[in-house]
Amino acid sequence: MQNRRTLLALTLAALPLIAPAQEVWITKNTAAKFSVDLTELRASAGGGALFVQTLQNDLVRSGWFNIARPATFTVRGTAAAGAGMSAACELFDNSRNRALLNKAYNGTAAETRRLAHQAADDIVFAATGKKGMNGARLLLAGRMGGGKEIFLCDADGGNLRQITHDNSISLAPQWAPNGELFVYTSFRRNNFQEINLVDLRSNQRTVIAAYPGIDMTGGISPDGGSMLMTLSKDGNPDIYVQGLRGGAPIRLTKSIHAGQASPCWSPDGNAIAYVSDHSGQPQLYLMSRGGGGGKLLTSRGSQNVAPDWGSEGIAYCSRRGGRYVVCVINPATREDRQISPGDCDYEDPNWAPDGRHIFCTRTSGYRPTICMLDTMGDPPLALPLGSGDWTSPACTR
Amino acid sequence: MTAKTWIMAALVVSVAVTFGTGCKRTKAKTGSGLGNGDLINGTGTAGDLTGLAGRDGFGGKIVDGQFPTVYFDFDSAQVKEGERAKVAQVAEYLKANAGATVVLSGHTDERGSQEYNTSLGENRALAVREALTQDGVDAARMQTRSMGEEQPKNPGHDEAAWSQNRRVEFQVLGSK
């Protein structure tokens, strides 16, 4: 009897906050899961099977589901490849005996994986009320021989393609909110930096900043109109803001004998987080969007760098106990939590659109790869990108 | 650094900033904060990745590795006393060769954030530039550039390698 009571207490403790209470929960790893049954989703060979396989992987990757039978949810329908790809998915809630989603996904055969990502995000939203992350796309810097080029891939690491072919060094890509434009820093002009704006719809590239000294990208504002940068044209590396389509840069920090880096916007566009070493070590500071008066965010960690401000807090990289770890801090309460394990170095965090996962670099044996961290406790998941050094993940929101 | 040298350094910077903000695009001033253009213009090629081998945008001969490299402590952009003579040697050369200009390339080791390392590399180059101005070289003859952690001199992953990678290199342009 004593044992049974303990078991009940543990089960209650594992209940997640967002779910209807009558459902059956299965916990796997650390985070709580819904169970979902995909055996009633009939697939034709080839394209249909690819759709179902991609959907299944996406649902597991989302962190919200385990594949099981019987299950709380059943996905019913068909996925058939003919001239193109045609799928129909119904999400049925067995505990409440009703359909939550019924949707068709049609496209070309080449769009099969994208359609499955879309279906996965729809299922995540219907079951949990949360935005999914499977339809997101990542920009990366990949080292090829002596240089670094910008690459684009899906959130699961699939569909990897090379965007720049500069035979130079390309760094620090940053998305515009529309997911069609991005900026990056290029060394292609004799190793002097410049910031390039790329339009993926037209494959056009425009140089939008090429000042003396450094030209490093920062975040693009939530309204898509402005870009933060680190420039040293007036002396030290300081933070500036400039229109994405041009105009004069406006200086936001003024330092002497110090360096600033990595500016990013708050989700509402009213504040900026950035790195400064004016105290002697690189640390995180907050300022208003008009600049001036930076306030120290945290004094934990001998270094705190690479902030990315999302709806669930500021993800950043902290040096603690001889390792680089990814943490999340609430800028209002200063509540701070380490997300990555301590097995190796995790750096350069970037929020996924679901506000739950964080993409980052994981460096083991001095080889950086991209992995996805889960703020709700699942273990890190590596992206299968193949050989090469992969850094600077930037995810569409 | 003594209080006196700090004041001098601050003066140099403030003079440089005041001077810099007065420049228009049409004026061909150069330097980290002092102008509108890098010393070298043109399209980068794969050959540029290993440094400024060859010629600059004005057809001048670039001399690479003519002067010894200045090394730095971890996470520091202070020119160490022991490295100061290397800077003085470059200053003497520039004063004796009025037509020469110099690119100062700042580098860091691989540890830490790539973006912060770009700023740190630039600050190392700026510190050397400031030391050169203290030695009497016109700031307009110097251009800083940061490679961050992208071009290690030693590809190793220990302190012996890192100490060689935290550096500023001199590339002299337009000299005889």
pLDDT tens digits, one per residue of A378-396: 999 999 998 889 999 999 9
The mean per-residue pLDDT over the stretch A130-153 comes to 93
Residue A106, pLDDT > 50, answer yes
In chain B, the number of structural domains is 1
Give the pLDDT score at B59. 42
* Contact state of B113 with A317 under an 8 Å Cβ cutoff: yes
Cα–Cα nearest to B42, from B32, B29, B55: B55
Could you tell me the maximum CA-CA distance found in chain A, to the nearest angstrom?
Answer: 76
CA distance A362 to chain B (A): 13
Dump pLDDT digits (tens) for A337-378: 999 998 999 999 999 999 999 999 999 988 999 999 999 999
In this predicted structure, the answer to whether residue A314 has a pLDDT above a threshold of 90 is: yes
Average pLDDT, chain A: 90
Q: Say yes or no to pLDDT of B161 above 60.
A: yes
pLDDT confidence bin for A78, thresholds 50/70/90: very high
Q: Give the pLDDT band of residue B61 (cuts 50, 70, 90).
A: low
Q: How far apart are CA A173 and CA A129, in angstroms?
A: 30
One-letter amino acid at B127 equals: A
Name, in order, each residue with C-beta under 8 angstroms of A130's C-beta and a sequence gap of 6 or more.
A18, A64, A124, A354, A355, A356
What is the arithmetic mean of pLDDT over B58-85?
Answer: 84
Tell me how many residue pairs between chain A and chain B have CB atoms under 8 A apart. Answer: 167
Q: Which one has a higher pLDDT value, A312 or B54?
A: A312
Q: What is the CATH number of the domain that holds B18?
A: 3.30.1330.60
| Nearest by Cα to B105 from B124, B90, B131, B83 | B124
Nearest neighbour of A237 by CB, restricted to B16, B34, B122:
B122
Which structural domain, as residue segments, surrounds residue B129?
3-173
Sort A170 into a burial class: Cβ within 10 Å, 0-12 / 13-18 / 19+.
buried
Report residue A191's pLDDT band, with 50, 70 and 90 as the boundaries. Answer: confident
Q: What pLDDT sits at residue A29?
A: 54
Across the interface, which of A193, A256, A366 has its CB nearest the CB of B10? A256
pLDDT in tens, A16-61: 333 333 333 334 455 689 999 999 999 987 789 999 999 999 999 9
Closest residue in chain B to residue A349, using alpha carbons only:
B113
In this model, does residue B29 exceed pLDDT 70?
no
Domain A2-128: CATH class, spelled out: alpha beta
pLDDT at A159 over 70: yes
What does the pLDDT look like over A235-256, one tens digit per residue? 889 999 999 988 899 999 998 8
Residue-range domain boundaries for chain A: 2-128, 137-395
Contact between A288 and A322 under an 8 Å Cβ cutoff? The reply is no
Instruction: Kindly indicate whether the domain formed by A137-395 is annotated with CATH number 3.65.10.10.
Output: no
H/E run at residue A116: helix A112-128
pLDDT value at residue A171: 95
